A and B are shown apart, each in its own frame.
Chain A
Amino acid sequence: MLIIVLLISISLTIAILFLVAFVWSMRSGQFDDTYGPSVRMLFDDKKKKE
């Protein structure tokens, strides 16, 4: 039975870690703009032609 207790405590810990990560990302504004980053990654960094 001990193994079940162990498993549950591990799974809960991991789940809580993910929850904390989500709350942190929300608070730090990573979901403020859901459109901008999706197009920004497609912009080429073109070197200025001199």
Chain B
Amino acid sequence: METLVTQVVKCYHCGQPCEEEVLKLEEKSFCCYGCKTVYEILNQNNLCEYYAFDKNPGVNLRHVSDETYAYLDEAAVKKQLLEFDSTSFARIRFYVPNIHCISCIWLLENLQKLQTGVLKSEVNFSGKTVRIDFNPELVSLSKLGRLLASLGYAPRINLNKQDRPVAPASQQLVIKLAIAGFAFGNVMLLSFPEYLGLNESDVALQRLFSWINIGLAIPVMFYSGNEYFTNAWKSFKQRQINIDVPIAVGLLALLLRSVYDIVSQTGAGYLDSLTGLVFFLLIGRWFQSKTYDSLAFDRDYKSYFPLAIQKWVQNEWRAVVVYELEPQDVIRVRNMEIVPADSILKSDEAYFDYSFVTGESKPVKAVRGELVYAGGKLVGQPVELVVQKKTAQSQLTSLWNESAFQKPNESVYKKIIDRAARRFTWIVLLLAIGTGVFWFYYDASRMWLVLTSVLMVACPCALALATPFTYGNMLRVFGRYGFYLKNADVIEQMATINTLVFDKTGTITHGASAVNFVGFLTAQEYGWIKLITSTSTHPLSNLIAKQILNKSDAVIAELKEFPGKGIQAVVAGKSIRLGSALFTGNEGGGEAASRVFVSIDGLARGYFEIETSVRPAIKSLVARLGTQVKALLSGDQPIEAGRMRAVFPASVQLLFNQSPHDKLNFISDLQKQTHKVMMIGDGLNDSGALQQSDVGIAVTDDTGVFTPASDGILAGNMLGKLDSFLRLAKRSTVILKTGFVISFCYNAIALSVAMSGFLTPLIAAILMPISSVSVVGFTSLAVNWVARKEFKSNL
């Protein structure tokens, strides 16, 4: 057996190995015409500095479809996209997911050298956007789109929510944090004289400081801390108690008591504690707000479908936006384009690849008059179709109307913190009433003071910080190892998972197949086979053509394709047949769907064995996960059942021919049996199941490409570490609960001081930061320690 891939040449532009062919230019190798063209464009314009900043900075252009951007010139579309528009000046912000390095910034900011009419372009690296000022008289919007795409920076255009705002929520949070921090620092300084003891003669000064403190605390209370009050009020109206309720009560008690103390001149108030509290709480919130902005966790079919399609309007093909298609419209779909709506085929015949819908990777043949479902990708010649249903009502897209996509997933789950908060609130309430009753009889004049002290120190600051720091740290650890979660709450849900369901294609198996030839062929004969196979659209032919590097200049004659059997052709006077064992006369070769037999001049020469490779780490992962793995769901034909059985033990159900709806129903059936299900999938066909499951994880080998809506995105090469991630999620919950215990201890101490009536501003000012810092420190250290231990032991 010999493997055909012999040498690895790296592309000068994109740095990927040149698999299909190697193009040479000025002693530089390129993997495809796209990459070479970009180099040529840059070379002509003296922009080769591009290659100086980063090694092989380019974006691979092998898989770029020649999407037209003509629809960008439609007035309605333009109006929606442009930030500013006038006759000689316009501004647009494109979202370009491919921006990834310094060279990208440099090239995109030098667009004016490539295209006249571009006035200025500016990249926002974090937001992956490029803002272009241009003169619409000199360059059209569609031309800009094409220019970017031709350089490998295809803009992703979304008409629904264009202009991804650069997270105004997090911006506001930072401003709130800044104000709280500012006030905290100043209040502390102004409180020092009180604690250190001023002379009696300085009373006037002391009062002035107190009043300044009030002035500083009010914006903290009502601007920085306003969310705690609104949240508390909301949950109060729903007759639920969450963590914000005791916080709001505590803050209110702190402010009222402080104002009373200052106005009545009985003390300096607790304003340093108040501002410090808000400051720490906001730090926690800010820490938890880490998001992977550049990844999309909520993509639905809309981001996968083409935006525009060619429609026959008044005797010409015009690009129109897909959502405007109406039944009976005639549309034209080109090679590798997606059919945007359920339609009837008007051309004679065509092959459609439904891999995104069903998981089945073999193209399906359709003949004239047959119904073609939306989501199929055309393989081969352009065809014409008659639209039957609007895009939003198509078979595939109707999945999004399922209940799984309607229910707000978050509210169903009761968070640990809210459960703890409820218990905590009741305890505090009982203690406060008890203390009030006791002091009413013992010393009624001090009852209100003691009561407010109890409410003040009961404010569960440390409790509220334990969650964001535990999960926020874990989120960062996961991100470092290629597992990106939508938000920190997903970790909590992961800890409860006891059932796992896998998808096959793209998850267990993935992309690049290994092609091996069993038998003997000369280098020249390999070249001939490459010639023949590259004329065919059959996926197995494509795979073989891709793997053979030998070239041949021979001429093909009498090429004939026998559907379901194979191809026959005459090359260099030799009759070559490729296909099934029977067709090529390879008797006793063993018929198998993944084998392509070869015969030359009627002589059997052997066969190509094609294997979709199973990810190497899967088998040991499944063994480690044991009985938690419940099922494998595949949209494919059960051809590979045997190979999958070798990976999965007998306890795992292997289900084939599963439609997206079947997958969704399977998950919800498991959930009805009180299983907590994690679904691991990758395609659009899994999106229903991903959404329905308690935690849906999308597996991808390139985080830039399409991933369906999910709770988390896992890099393909880290799939083998899934058990570690699950274990860490469980450990985080243990750490979180330990953090709770620590904060309860502090609260118990503080409460006993408050209940006995000895609470002073100084004690409060010391106790509160100490409890917060120790909880934050403990959770952060513990999370990093368990993570290091986990990954050291099995990396």
Contact = CB atoms under 8 A, between A and B. Distances in A.
Given A26-B174, A27-B171, A33 B49 contact: no
Interface in B102-142: 102, 105-106, 109, 113, 123-127
Interface string A1-34: 1001100100010011001001100110101111
Nearest to B53: A39
Most buried by B among A12, A29, A31, A33: A33
Given A19-B178, A19-B182, A33 B171 contact: no
B174 A32 contact: no
B742 to A, nearest CB: 34
Interface residues of A, number: 26
Contacts of B127: 32-33
B123 A1 contact: no
A24 to B, nearest CB: 10
A29 B166 contact: yes
Nearest to B183: A19
A40 B109 CA distance: 9
Given A15-B186, A23-B175, A34 B208 contact: no
B205 A4 contact: yes
B178 A33 contact: no
Contacts of B77: none
B205 A34 contact: no
A5 B102 contact: no
A14 B171 CA distance: 23
A26 B105 CA distance: 22
Contacts of B46: 46, 48-49
A36 B124 contact: yes
Nearest to B49: A46
Interface residues of B, number: 27
Contacts of A40: 105, 109
Contact of A23 (B102, B123, B178): B178
Most buried by A among B105, B202, B204: B105
Contacts of A22: 178
B212 interface: yes
Contact of B105 (A19, A29, A39): A39
B179 interface: yes
Interface string B169-182: 00100110011001
A43 B125 contact: no
A12 to B, nearest CB: 7
Contact of A15 (B106, B109, B182, B208): B182
A48 B205 CA distance: 67
B126 A32 contact: yes
A5 B113 CA distance: 60
A26 B171 contact: yes
A33 B166 CA distance: 9
A5 B124 CA distance: 46
Contacts of B124: 32-33, 36
Interface string B668-704: 0000000000000000000000000000000000000
A50 to B, nearest CB: 9
A49 B124 CA distance: 29
A26 B125 contact: no
Contacts of B125: 33, 35-36
A12 B187 CA distance: 11
21 contacts: A1-B204, A1-B205, A8-B190, A19-B178, A23-B178, A23-B179, A26-B175, A27-B171, A29-B166, A31-B171, A32-B127, A32-B166, A33-B123, A33-B124, A33-B125, A33-B126, A35-B125, A43-B106, A43-B109, A46-B49, A48-B46
Given A29-B166, A48-B46, 9 more contacts: A1-B204, A15-B182, A23-B178, A26-B171, A35-B125, A35-B126, A36-B123, A39-B105, A40-B109
